[in-house]
Amino acid sequence: MTTGLKTPSSYYMELINAFPPRPITNDAELNATQNQINSILDRGRLTQDDRDYLKVLGMLVYDYEEQCEQMPTLKGIKLLKALMAEANLEPKDLVPIFGDESVVLEILNHRSEPTDTQIQKLALFFHISPASFARDNLA
């Protein structure tokens, strides 16, 4: 006898029967699962059954994306620009690292390279490995 599992409510079974959770194997199934998630979220006030079902669907989406979708590997200045955009930073926000906004702009525009000290400070600031900003990754 399995302990800890409770009998699903009739509403939860309706959710399962209307859109049975299955491993996602292609983009069409991914889109259908994301549409199902959105339709439940759009209802507003979620029940515990809704949250449980969404968690299952979310795990399926996550698993598919982890297996099938390649994340681009950014390095150097491209990585710096992406991190700045993600954190909504402007060149002036990096002045404590580079000393002057004009230096930041020169580096962002590939007219200059950061020093080893600046690379170390960038790594600390963004909490990533200094190797991500290494000179051979700056292109």
Boundaries of every domain in the chain:
10-68, 76-137
pLDDT in tens, 29-42: 999 999 999 999 99
Measured between alpha carbons, how far is residue 34 from residues 44, 51, 54, 72, 110 in Å? 16, 15, 10, 22, 40
Q: Is the pLDDT of residue 6 over 90?
A: no
4-8, 49-53, 72-76, 126-130, range with greatest mean pLDDT: 49-53
Contacts of 69 (CB under 8 A, 6+ apart): none
> Which has more pLDDT, 120 or 70?
120
Q: For the chain, how long is the longest CA-to-CA vector? A: 70
**Which one is the CATH code of 76-137: 1.10.260, 1.10.3470, 3.30.70, 1.20.272?**
1.10.260
Note the pTM of the prediction, 2 decimals. Answer: 0.51
Name the average pLDDT for the chain. 89
Q: Which two tokens stand for residue 91?
A: 């060149």
Contacting residues for 78 by C-beta, under 8 A, at least 6 apart = none
Query: Distance between CA atoms of 25 and 64, rounded to whole angstroms?
Result: 7
